[in-house]
Structure 1
Amino acid sequence: MMAGNTNLNEYDTNVAQESCISDPVQAPEARFECPICLAWLRDPIQTSCGHRFCRKCIQNWLEREKACPVDNKPLDKDRDIFPDNFTRREISQQRIKCPNLVRGCLQDLSPLDVETHLLTCKFGVAKLPDNEKLRCTFVVIGCDAKFEDEPEQQRHLEQNLQKHMMLLLQAHSKFLINNSATTSTAAIAQQANFWDPPPKNEQSSAVQGNLDSNESIQALLRTLFEKIVMLEQKNREQEIIIANMSEQIAASNLAISKLPLRYCNGCYLWYITDFKNKVNQMRVNHHIMHYSPGFYTSPHGYKLCIRFNLSPKDPSYIAILIHMMKSDHDNSLDWPFSGRISVTLVHPIESFYNIKETMMTRPELEAFKRPLQDLNPRGFGYTEFALIEDLFTQGFIDNNQLAIRVHAQPV
């Protein structure tokens, strides 16, 4: 089923009336069928997401919608649709019977020529003489029965099911044998014509051999060219598939990477990498501040983050503050945030040396009210949490990184 607008059925009917006419005798294969009008592809177009449509169908669709009707991928009608000449060539080589087959028209047609043919077909309903008899639907495979009216024809079809099945089986077997023999003969002949050297004892034979060889080379080159086009088409399709899969994998990885932040139960460990360089930059520019990713007190709880910067009172200290962040379920929470928050500088070797402070929230402060922006600009914490020199001398900096653990518990 196609994804997209709920008015798709109504829209599809309009497009089919404007651009395509379904074949009442033989439905197209899935690869030759337009997903919008469900008929043979006319002037085939391929999208950047790997789907094929009639040119008019997809253009009309994109005038109303900006996404693929099959997988809902965003599409731009000027950049993301391309002519599909390979499919156009394949469809033009297909053959189906005239829809007036039951009335005697045995003509083989290209699917795209049926509409034009029906305008002039002498077996059309409007042009049939009064005494014209209906023929069996299986006339093409050998059933020569004729009928006065359609009820009689229907009774014949119901009563001769076994006979028609036998005729179908015989026709299928004959087709397989003839097709196999024709393909093998043509391949052998082509190879022989190309590789056999011309006779050396007759000048005329040599000239004729050269002509045959040139024709064979031309035929071989055409075949190779078609194969190259087909391979390029398949390569393009594979590139599109790989690109789509890469996007899906990247989105999945991003979602997976955020799971620990949502399910950490308010206890988050933040590693500040390249600590020395960050401190030097903040000494030059005191407005530089570093924020951790947002983490949650529960899967659908409050969202917070940690801020680290130099103390505005004494740049020899680091400041650590907590900021409330906006989430998609804030309307289900009680505001202002009320609870206990612990901040710990983690010693990489011995937990005995950890520096830990615990604070209770204050509901009257702006820092704990429901954020109206992605990040509440007001933070709450310690402006002089620890001396930077002590962090280096006491071994808190390991591999040029500092670990800060915050545990937020709503009450």
Structure 2
Amino acid sequence: MASTSAYSSKSELSVAQESSIDDAYLAPEARFECPICLAWLRDPLLTSCGHRFCRKCIESWLQRENPCCPVDNMKLTKDDIFPDNFTRREINQQRTKCPNIVRGCLEQLNPLDVESHLLVCEFRPPELPDNEKLRCFYVNWGCEEKFEDEPELEKHLEQKIHKHLNMISDACRKLTISQASGSSVIAQEANFWDPPSKNDQPSMSDSGNINELLKALYEKIVILEQKTREQDIIIANMTEQIQSTTLSMSKISLRHCNGCYLWYFKDFKSKISIMRNDHRNMYYSPGFYTSPNGYKLCIRLNISPYNQNSIAILIHMMKSEHDNTLDWPFSGRLTITLIHPVDASKNIKETMMTRPALDAFQKPVQEMNPKGFGYTEFALIEELFSQGYIDNNHLVVKVQAHPV
């Protein structure tokens, strides 16, 4: 990902120069901060969903496989981003002091010009000798390793975080003990690790090593926050894709069941109680198909309107995207079976032929035909319990639909 922060030019700025960049430059206001690189907006663009990004950052981001807004995951294309000239003018009007103010530079700069100014500032600290440029940044804390090129140094800094923190901890413990004067060592260590205010100007009396440490740690935190934000977005997108795939797979099984569907009617006892309290309550199965491009049906189960001790099972025709290619009314054979979980010989099975003249088998004009066809007294509820049809509080209903 393209980053436009001051830390992207390490090959041009010495370590001493990097350590002098003040917190005011590193921490722009939220409205001027790019959510991708976490630095000042450069050539800002505004998305159709109302978020601002650096031009290079968002254009690089949109080159991904599934381009979307890094903030709210809204789908984006290049046509959904526009130049934000108002914000550009606001940033150009901002002024910040040169980070080398402690050395005498009184320049007040646009935040975007600080990086280039540091390369020519007459008050910049002297560059390290050539043989010192590829020393570890933590050389003052005891790390003596040297490197041939920048990538090797970067790899070392990423892999040896714990080693460097241990070095810093040991050095700070010794410093705290040596500076103790009447106050407890524990209290001084606690004060030492208090985070500095972002708006505080560096003090001439501060230890150079401590300032260098804080700047390096701040840089590492910014990089880790950026990587964490990117990973969170990737995980959210993958979760959404998995959920979508799972839903699609469940629909595939319904479309390719060839008219033979097993409905696991769960939580049977509580649902029977609900339906007995109010006969208007009914339960419907998901829609299933007689073939991938065939008729769509569903099962309805409710308390019999004529006998509250019996269940009614009926079949309803449902609207599908292929109805115009099918012959109407639906004509065929329907078989309803209550499955006994242990003894198949006890299965309750009924077969019926459709009646084309009935409204139940006409072409649906709404999501589901209000008229169903089946048995209003299919089985006694008490017998379902006593003869073991209810297994683990589930009732299994099998329906086979064969058009002719």
Structure 1 length-normalised TM: 0.56
Residue 184 of structure 1 pairs with residue 135 of structure 2: yes
Q: Distance in 2 between matches of 1:341 and 1:77?
A: 49
Q: 1:78 to 1:343 in 2, by over 3 A?
A: closer
The alpha-carbon deviation at position 191 of structure 1 amounts to 5.0
The verdict on how the C-alpha distance between 1:314 and 1:186 changes in structure 2, with shifts beyond 3 A counting, is: closer
CA distance in 1, matches of 2:140, 2:205: 12
Calculate percent identity across the aligned residue pairs: 50
> How far apart are residue 409 of structure 1 and its match?
0.7
| Shift of residue 328, structure 1, vs aligned partner | 2.4
Partner residue of 2:47 out of 59, 67, 73: 59
Residue 314 of structure 1: CA displacement? 1.3
Matches within 5 A, 1:256-271: 256-271=249-264
- Superimposed CA distance per residue, residues 269-320 of structure 1 (whole angstroms, 9 cap, x where no aligned partner): 1111221221111111111101111111111211111000011111111100
SS in 1 for 2:401: strand
Aligned partner of 1:334 among 309, 327, 339: 327
Q: Map 1:108-123 to 2 at 5 A.
A: none
Task: Choose from 380, 392, 395 the match for 2:385.
Answer: 392
Q: Secondary structure at the match of 1:304?
A: strand
Contact 1:319–1:382 (Cα < 8 Å) also in 2: yes
Q: Residues 12-411 of structure 1 correspond to what in structure 2 (within 5 A)? A: 31=2, 45-46=34-35, 56-59=44-47, 71-73=66-68, 181-184=132-135, 187-189=138-140, 191=142, 195=171, 214-411=207-404
Determine which structure has more spread, i.e. the larger CA radius of gyration.
Answer: 1
- Decide whether the 8 Å contact of 1:308 with 1:320 is kept in 2: yes
User: What is the match of residue 130 of structure 1?
Assistant: none
Partners of 1:255 and 1:358 lie apart in 2 by: 32
Report how many residues are paired. Answer: 269
Q: SS in structure 2 opposite 1:336?
A: coil
Unaligned runs of 5+ in 2: 5-31, 52-60, 77-90, 92-111, 117-128, 144-166, 179-203
Retained in 2: the 8 A contact 1:291–1:306? yes
* Conserved? CA contact 2:317–2:368, under 8 Å: yes
1:78 and 1:260 map into 2 onto residues whose CA distance is 30
Is 1:45–1:55's contact at 8 Å kept on the other side of the alignment?
Answer: no
Alpha carbons of 1:58 and 1:334: their partners in 2 closer, same or farther (altered >3 Å)?
farther
Contact 1:323 1:380 in 2 (8 A): yes
- Determine which structure has greater relative contact order: mean sequence separation of CA pairs < 8 Å that are 6+ residues apart, divided by chain length: 2
How far apart are the structure 2 equivalents of 1:364 and 1:354? 30
In 1, distance between residues paired with 2:221 and 2:311? 65
Segments of structure 1 that go 5 or more residues without pairing to the other structure are 1-29, 34-42, 82-87, 89-111, 117-177, 201-210
**Deviation digits for residues 204-223 of structure 1 (CA, Å, limit 9, x no counterpart):** xxxxxxx7871210121111
CA RMSD of aligned residues (A): 4.2
Give per-residue Cα distances to partners, 1:159-203, cap 9 Å, x unaligned: xxxxxxxxxxxxxxxxxxx978402176424658984989x9xxx
Deviation string, structure 1 residues 127-185 (Cα, Å, up to 9, x no partner):
xxxxxxxxxxxxxxxxxxxxxxxxxxxxxxxxxxxxxxxxxxxxxxxxxxx97840217
Q: TM-score, normalised by structure 2?
A: 0.57
Q: 1:31 aligns to what SS in structure 2? A: coil
How far apart in 1 are the matches of 2:253 and 2:48? 45
Judged with a 3 Å threshold, the aligned counterparts in structure 2 of structure 1 residues 78 and 259 are, in CA distance, closer, same or farther, namely closer
Q: Is the 8 A contact 1:342 1:406 kept in 2?
A: yes
Q: CA deviation at 1:323?
A: 1.0
Q: Secondary structure at the match of 2:253?
A: helix
Partners of 2:70 and 2:233 within 8 A in 1: no
Distance 2:261 2:210 in 1: 71
Q: Distance in 1 between matches of 2:69 and 2:380?
A: 52
Q: Is the 8 A contact 1:292 1:305 kept in 2?
A: yes
- How has the CA–CA distance of structure 1 residues 347 and 302 changed in structure 2, closer, same or farther, with 3 Å as cutoff? same
Cα distance in structure 2, aligned partners of 1:409 and 1:350: 26
